[in-house]
């Protein structure tokens, strides 16, 4: 009855751990959960208040597919301030969380059989999303001895004619590694030399404490094939408080995948063609 592609999906181990922790807590057992990556504090009042004010002032309608212009401009300001990156609001797509963004990216980029290099250990959703649309995830080991830094040589050896993209996740879930500028630069060069896309998931950027996080997009390597995703704050009231910067033509591909309308993101208001 259901689509065959769902048979490839493994159940989410993160959610299973989360459910187990909740069950143990309900039995009065004191549990520290390493399941879903949530802060242990409530969303700050100023964020809740801002969301409430926005709703009360009538911001309850469909937005542009890529997000409201003010938010996209704010993402550009953040990228310039924190990462030294120059992006235009038209380069930014706001979506409902990293998982949604990453899914949009694999839908826009992969054909069945395309291979995706996933440095391992990895966040469990990367391979599942790739498999779901018929791609082939290829785990590439990192070592405890190097603090689980990216291994550019192993990545280079794993490239085949079917390799389409490399997933870079720094700071990393689950290892906590913050990848070194040297290894990121080597991977950026590999991507440019071999014509690969790089998807950079930097959602834990605000949580690097002893080592400074470096965005692969900031390393001076030509980056017109680099999709850089980030999350501004760990505790957000609205899942749409979330942004991703990426280069021109990928941006319009993702918009097409998400919004079903070419150029819909550039419209200043919602039209029937904008989708919904």
Complex with ligand PLP: residue 174 or 261, whichever CB lies closer: 174
Distance between CA atoms of 218 and 83, rounded to whole angstroms?
7
Compute the half-sphere exposure of residue 132: CA atoms within 13 Å on the CB side of its CA: 16
* 94 belongs to the binding site for ligand PLP (CB under 6 A): no
* 35 belongs to the binding site for ligand PLP (CB under 6 A): no
Residue (of 188, 222, 229) closest to 83 by Cα position: 229
Among 87, 123, 179, 197, binds ligand PLP (CB under 6 A): 123
Complex with ligand PLP: residue 99 or 222, whichever CB lies closer: 99
Shortest Cβ distance from residue 271 to ligand PLP (Å)?
Answer: 28
* 173 belongs to the binding site for ligand PLP (CB under 6 A): yes
* Residue 271 main-chain phi, psi, to 5 deg: -115, 175
> Nearest residue by C-beta to ligand PLP?
97
Which residue in this structure is represented by tokens 């004010």? 53
* 203 belongs to the binding site for ligand PLP (CB under 6 A): yes
* 201 belongs to the binding site for ligand PLP (CB under 6 A): yes
Complex with ligand PLP: residue 229 or 265, whichever CB lies closer: 229
Q: Are 235 and 147 in contact (CB under 8 A)?
A: no
Measure Cα distances from 85 to 98, 120, 153 in Å: 20, 28, 27
* 137 belongs to the binding site for ligand PLP (CB under 6 A): no
Q: Name the burial class of residue 42, with classes exposed (0-12), middle (13-18) and buried (19+) by CB atoms within 10 angstroms of its CB.
A: exposed
Q: Are 270 and 63 in contact (CB under 8 A)?
A: yes
User: Dihedral (C-alpha) 188, 232, 101, 252: value to the nearest 10 degrees?
Assistant: -70
Shortest Cβ distance from residue 173 to ligand PLP (Å)?
Answer: 4
* 99 belongs to the binding site for ligand PLP (CB under 6 A): yes
Q: 185-206 in b/e burial notation, b at 16+ Cβ within 10 A? A: bbbbebbbeeebbbbbbbbbbe
Q: Sketch the per residue contact string, 207 through 236, with ligand PLP: x for CB under 6 A, - otherwise.
A: ------------------------x-----
Among 12, 18, 21, 37, binds ligand PLP (CB under 6 A): 37
Number of residues that bind ligand PLP (CB under 6 A): 10
Complex with ligand PLP: residue 42 or 273, whichever CB lies closer: 42
Shortest Cβ distance from residue 95 to ligand PLP (Å)?
Answer: 9
Map residue 166 onto helix, strand or coil: strand
Complex with ligand PLP: residue 37 or 206, whichever CB lies closer: 37
The 8-class DSSP code of residue 156 comes to H
Among 75, 85, 92, 98, binds ligand PLP (CB under 6 A): 98
Residues in the site for ligand PLP, rule: CB under 6 A? Answer: 37, 97-99, 123, 169, 173, 201, 203, 231
């Amino acid at each position: 009855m259901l689509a065959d592609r769902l048979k490839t999906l493994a159940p989410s181990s993160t959610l299973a751990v989360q459910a187990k922790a909740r069950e143990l807590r309900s039995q009065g057992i004191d549990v520290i959960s390493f399941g879903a990556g949530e802060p242990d504090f409530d969303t700050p009042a100023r964020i809740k208040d801002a969301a409430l004010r926005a709703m009360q002032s009538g911001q309850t309608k469909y937005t542009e597919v890529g997000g409201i212009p003010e938010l996209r401009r704010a993402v550009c300001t953040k990228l310039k301030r924190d990462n030294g990156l120059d992006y235009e609001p038209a380069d930014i797509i706001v979506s409902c969380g990293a998982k949604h963004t990453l899914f949009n990216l694999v839908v826009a980029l992969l054909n069945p059989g395309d291979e995706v290099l996933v440095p391992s250990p990895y966040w469990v959703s990367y391979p599942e999303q790739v498999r779901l649309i018929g791609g082939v995830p290829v785990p590439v080991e990192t070592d405890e001895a190097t603090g689980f830094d990216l291994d550019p040589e192993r990545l280079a050896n794993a490239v085949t004619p079917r390799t389409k993209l490399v997933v870079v996740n720094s700071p990393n879930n689950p290892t906590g590694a913050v990848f070194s500028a040297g290894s990121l630069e080597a991977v950026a060069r590999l991507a440019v030399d071999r014509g690969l896309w790089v998807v950079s998931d930097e959602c834990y950027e605000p949580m690097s404490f002893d080592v400074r996080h470096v965005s692969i997009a900031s390393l001076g390597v030509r980056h017109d094939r680099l999709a850089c995703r980030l999350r501004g704050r760990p505790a957000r009231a609205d899942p749409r408080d979330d942004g991703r910067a990426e280069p021109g033509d990928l941006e319009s591909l993702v918009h097409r995948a998400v919004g079903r309308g070419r150029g819909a993101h550039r419209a200043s208001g919602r039209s029937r063609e904008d989708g919904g």
